[in-house]
Structure 1
């Protein structure tokens, strides 16, 4: 579903070139879940942005399915994000002027894959039934993050990218939201790539990788720096 082939990424800084990714190879299969871990500043978010086509590598290729993102212009990459990807962030990024029901349906409508039965199922599983006419400001942090997850999954994306999706929540709420996220990902059949600092959050996923000094390590035990 997602593949990185010998991906390099370097940024220009006042101190000189900063190499963030150095020949990264990654494969995520259909229906598989993968936790990407590493210290702050290790390049986890950069890798996620490359996976979403929000940035392009300096060298190497990123594939979504059989499509190389480098072979697409920005409108083409935007279509991939609309039709194939679901995105969940640490910040909820809900549309303040839309109520719960409309926020939930937004991505599915853009992808022209709205399924009223699946939307109703999501509302029930998200414990938001009865709050369809509420606006984001009327919801708790946990409710807003559940809604953001539901919006990302409403179109049944082939690939869900999640960047610290429980990072803004207290521990108890985070555990509840994570369990719900994994259950809904399984129900939707999506692949999942999740960035997290936490070994506890990463533990339920199928695989865990550490990003360290621009390269991926397969076993969290190999990480010699604080990784979660």
Structure 2
């Protein structure tokens, strides 16, 4: 599903190049879940941006469903994101002028995969039934994050990338949102890559890798081979 082959990434600073990723090798199989742990500034978000084709490596190769992301132009990478990926961020990035129902369906419409029955099921499972005509500012933080997760999963993506998806929530709400996220991903059979600093978030996932000083360490192999 996703593969990094000796990926390097650095950013220019007044003090010279800042190396963020230093020869990253990573693979994620279809239906597998992987937690990417690391301190703030360790490069977790950079790795996810490369996986999504929002940025390109300086060296090495990122492959998504056996296609090299670097070989695609901007339009090709955008098309690949629409057709293959769901993205969930710490900041919800909901469209304030769209109500709950339209925010939920937005990504599916862009991908040409709107499914009314699936959208209705998502609304129910997200706990947002009865809130369809409300706008993001009228929702709690937990409701907004659930809506953001639903929007990402509405097109039934093969891979979901989540960057600190519970970072803005209190512990109890974060647990509820994480449980919902994992259940929906499991039912869809999607692969999942979560960037997090929280061992609590990482614990239920199949594997956990730690990113430190630009390199990855396999910290744990979960007991379950599959969802």
TM-score by length of 2: 0.96
Counterpart of 1:226? Answer: none
1:3-42 matches, within 5 Å, as 3-42=3-42
Q: CA RMSD in A?
A: 1.0
How many residue pairs end up in the alignment?
A: 221
Provide the residue aligned with 1:131 in structure 2: 131
1:140 is matched with 140
Q: Deviations over 1:183-225 (max 9, x none)?
A: 01111111100000000110000100000111100016xxxxx
Q: Which runs of 4+ in 1 moved over 6 A?
A: none
Gaps of 5+ in 1: 221-228
Cα distance in structure 2, aligned partners of 1:140 and 1:81: 28
Quote the offset at 1:142 in angstroms: 0.3
- Structure 2 matches for 1:112-123, cutoff 5 A? 112-123=112-123
For 2:178, what is the secondary structure of its paired residue?
helix
Post-superposition offset of 1:176: 0.3
Instruction: For residue 108 of structure 1, give the secondary structure of its aligned residue in structure 2.
Output: helix
Question: Do the aligned residues in 2 keep the contact of 1:156 with 1:189 (CA within 8 Å)?
Answer: no
Q: State the 1:154 CA deviation.
A: 0.3
Please state how far the C-alpha of 1:66 moved relative to its aligned partner.
Answer: 1.0
1:29 Cα shift? Answer: 0.3
CA shift for structure 1 position 135? 0.6
1:195 paired residue number: 195
Task: Tell me the equivalent position of 2:47.
Answer: 47
Match of 1:80 in 2: 80
CA distance in 2, matches of 1:65, 1:77: 13
Alignment gaps of 5+ in structure 2? 221-227
CA distance in 1, matches of 2:132, 2:187: 22
**For residue 224 of structure 2, what is the aligned residue in structure 1?**
none
In the TM superposition, what is the alpha-carbon distance from 1:17 to its structure 2 partner? 1.1
Counterparts of 1:188 and 1:102, CA distance in 2: 21
